[in-house]
Amino acid sequence: MDSHTATPAEGFVALAAARAAGEGKDMPDVISVVNDMRERVHAVVLLDTIKHVYRSGRIPKIAAKLGSILNIRPIFTVSDTVIFAGAVRNKKRGIERILQMMRESVGSKAAHVAVMHAYALEEAEKLKARVAAEFKCAELWLTEFSPLMGYACGTGTLGLAFYTED
């Protein structure tokens, strides 16, 4: 099955399927659990620079050059496709924006959260501490992007993958 997502959000879908199978559910029930999780899971990613997005073929060269000159940091969501969700001029604002996006989605519900990074462990640990302080977390973990995601997003990328309890 296609998870329709990437990063740890994809991992949440796989874990939901594994848990359902581990509970002895039959294949149609496991598929139902996967479909439900695909609808609930979110991923939001803050890139430290726009130049890597060009390298992955997602934007034209001129947009990458202009974005680099203006010090633009794009924010993307991942659900079925990668969707441009905005841009900020510095990392502090970017972190505030991705936390706000999570707040709007999660509200006061318990959330399962993965903080992800591409060679930005110290910043990711700070983001994880903020998530722990500001949200009701059923689980919270820290992970690195895969090498492919690191290549596409670039060093310094931070992100959140999350879903809420039913």
Q: What is the pLDDT of residues 57-93, one digit of tens each?
A: 666 666 666 666 667 788 887 765 566 667 778 889 9
- Whether residue 2 lies inside any domain: the answer is no
Across 111-125, average pLDDT = 94
Residue 102 located in a structural domain: yes
Contact indicator for 52, 151 with CB cutoff of 8 Å:
yes
Q: Which domain holds residue 83?
A: 7-164
Q: Is residue 148 part of a domain?
A: yes
131 found inside a domain: yes
CATH number of domain containing 20: 3.30.1180.10
pTM, full prediction: 0.82
Per the structure, the count of domains in the chain is: 1
Is residue 154 a contact partner of residue 52, using CB atoms and an 8 Å limit?
A: yes
What whole-number distance in Å separates Cα of residue 90 and Cα of residue 75?
A: 11
1 inside domain: no
Residue 48 lies in a domain: yes
Q: 67 with 58: CB under 8 angstroms?
A: no
List pLDDT tens digits, range 1-36.
655 556 788 888 889 999 999 999 999 999 999 888
89 in any annotated domain: yes
In a domain, 95, yes or no: yes
